[in-house]
Amino acid sequence: MVRLIKVIFQVLFFAGLVPAVNCQDKYQLLNRTDRKEIVKPAAVISEAIFLHTDREEYIAGENCWFTAYLVETGKGAGSAVSSFAYIELLNAERNPVVQKGISLFERSGHGMFVMPDTLSSGSYILRAYTNLMKNLPPENCFMKIITIYNSLKHRDYHEIISVGQYKDRMSEASSSPYTISGDELSQIFSVRAPDSTAKREKITLDITAGRNAVRSAVITNLSISVAPWTGRMEETYVHNTSSREPVSYSPSAQEYKAEITGRIIHGSLLSQNTGEDLADRIILLSVPGKEAYFRYAITDGNGKFTFNIHKDENPGELVIQQLNKDNNNLIRIESSFWDRYPDIEIRDDSLYREIPQYISDWSENYQVSKIYGISHSGDPLPTQKMKDKKPRFYGVPDMELLMADYVLLPSMQEVFYELIPGVSMKTGRKNYGITVVNPLENRQYEEEPTLMIDGVIINESSLMVEMSTEKVERIDVMRNEYVSGGYHFYGIVNLITKTGDFSNLPLPENSIRFPYAVTDQEEIPFTAPDYSDPAVKISRVPDFRNTLYWNPSLKPDSEGSVKAEFWSSDMVSDYLITIYGITGSGKIISQKKLIKVR
């Protein structure tokens, strides 16, 4: 009777599927190629990145604060969708000296990075792109020239005079090609600020949206920087979106897909002997931890594979391995950062380059801050973290053995023999083995079970057999057959250690282990003195901020208004207030205003 019920259950469960076929040793993939699927038209999405930085010139060792905006390009474009952006600082030799990944939410994201204090003086390219934008030539990235000065390396100055095909645009400053201006801008928002103020005085910026803007909730985010004015109002960009085609996202045509719901890991499999790309091979992904995480992929005709990591997931490390035990194959993981760069032409000045006076002042300001230990990077802000206990990919196991509930046994063989029915561990002089009994048929599976330690699939059962029982926290067992996507498990045995990090264990054959995090897990705020306390205001601690104020994300209220308040410093100068924002339709808006501190 039990066998009849099982047969009926299997017929119903696998209805519409062809029989599972053997696939590389003990595993099976369910073949779904003969199922009819609804074919959706390819989505056409056009997007680009725009960066607002706190300044255009820096002293080596300072922070660069930025906000990234995801904008639309081209006429009739669909909505921009990417949820991640990649930021790089390239030197004159096209080598990245800083790489940064950030998350995008509601078309914007922000962060900061430190300019290495070893950088030579000269021009640098700040570029930004999404994974989707990597389908076009590198000249289509957002690119902006910034200048970095090192007081100890003036003579090593390198000036970039052309980037790719945009040589003519390098000779003059140009406003952003994304930016709304003129009459249309004046109807969106206005800025009120004092024309001048004294040192260590409060400055208030009142930003008010126009009537039409309030009605349509057009402004979704604003970023504000206040920095010493260098004599120009415009910034230098080295690309022109009006002359390039929008990025069209077609899931079947593009090599690099839009990272809509999370990060995409790109990799490839090839033969070490011949260099041949290996197609139709199974690649496994797991995460060392106490809650098992599993993905699989199949290499395409070029030996390439991808894994999607949801943005709400936060694995610290990844282990990627090939299913079979062929030691002659090699797995390569592609960096999330793009290794294609635009052509750059530089001018090398071997003689001392004249440095503007304001740069000398900024350099002194930076040195004073270093001497007094003054930093404008605040403590990390608390972020919403994921729940520590993520569900195991196989759900609730058929059996969960907590070692603390039992008397400590001397060996894992006795643990399996005494405490885990339906799972057998055999030992011998040359090899070990673990078998699982199918509870429906009450006999061992012909295929080997999947063995894991801390969620990592292992090839050698000896690792589990020889594990010290003192190191084990629990053992999860799935005796029933389990299907994840098209991947078939004939029983699962997952041994979880007390550390839960797969430490001090050899990696399985044909596998690599690497850290996952590309984006920062913590947000660092910009900080500045508050002189509302009279005792602080008369303090003799110097205040020579090169960036007077930075706020990467201001949200207008229901009336379309927003207020920014900050204090002037001890530095007498003209300051340029720069405000950028993004509209609900994905367009960039900008306003600039001068204010004097006397």
Domain ranges across the chain: 16-36+392-503, 48-246+339-383+523-597
pLDDT of residue 77: 43
Q: Which of 93-97, 98-102, 350-354, 412-416 has the lowest mean pLDDT?
A: 350-354
Judge whether 32 and 16 are in contact, CB under 8 Å: no
Average pLDDT over residues 122-137: 91
Judge whether 120 and 130 are in contact, CB under 8 Å: no
Structure tokens at 224: 């504000």
Confidence tier at 180 by pLDDT (50, 70, 90): low
Strands (E) located in 229-343: 262-271, 282-286, 294-298, 304-310, 317-322, 329-333
Confidence tier at 311 by pLDDT (50, 70, 90): confident
Smallest CA-to-CA distance from 571 within 232, 234, 55, 201 is with 201
pLDDT of residue 591: 84
On the question of pLDDT at 280 being above 70, the answer is yes
Confidence tier at 253 by pLDDT (50, 70, 90): low
pLDDT of residue 313: 84
Average pLDDT over residues 420-447: 86
Per-residue pLDDT tens digits for 191-233: 889 999 999 999 999 988 766 554 444 667 889 999 999 987 7
On the question of pLDDT at 534 being above 70, the answer is yes
Sorted by sequence, the CB contacts under 8 Å of residue 490 that are 6+ apart come out as 26, 436, 438, 445, 447, 448, 449, 450, 481
Smallest CA-to-CA distance from 576 within 548, 551, 553 is with 548
pLDDT of residue 430: 60
pLDDT of residue 43: 46
Q: Which of 294-308, 375-389, 500-514, 519-533 has the lowest mean pLDDT?
A: 375-389
The b/e string for 171-198 (b: 16+ C-beta within 10 A; e otherwise) is eeebebbbebeeeeeeebbeeebeeebe
pLDDT of residue 557: 81
pLDDT of residue 559: 76
Bridge partners, 179 (sequence order): 588
Count of residues in the chain: 598
In angstroms, the Cα distances linking 459 to 22, 63, 400, 413, 464 are 18, 47, 22, 18, 10
Give me the chain's average pLDDT, please. 82
Pick the CATH number of 16-36+392-503 from 2.170.130.10, 1.10.260.40, 3.40.50.620, 1.10.10.10: 2.170.130.10
Alpha-carbon distance 300 to 282, whole Å? 10
pLDDT of residue 292: 94
The b/e string for 257-281 (b: 16+ C-beta within 10 A; e otherwise) is bbbbebbbbbbbbbeeeeeebbeeb
The three-class DSSP label of residue 167 is helix
What backbone torsions phi and psi does residue 264 show, to the nearest 5 degrees? -115, 125
pLDDT of residue 166: 45
Average pLDDT over residues 265-290: 93
Confidence tier at 12 by pLDDT (50, 70, 90): very low
Percent of the chain with pLDDT over 90: 53
Per-residue pLDDT tens digits for 348-359: 665 566 788 999
Confidence tier at 594 by pLDDT (50, 70, 90): very high
> Which overall architecture, per CATH, does domain 48-246+339-383+523-597 show?
Sandwich (2.60)
pLDDT of residue 345: 84
Average pLDDT over residues 327-346: 90
Alpha-carbon distance 595 to 203, whole Å? 10
On the question of pLDDT at 284 being above 50, the answer is yes
Q: Which of 161-175, 208-222, 298-312, 366-380 has the lowest mean pLDDT?
A: 161-175
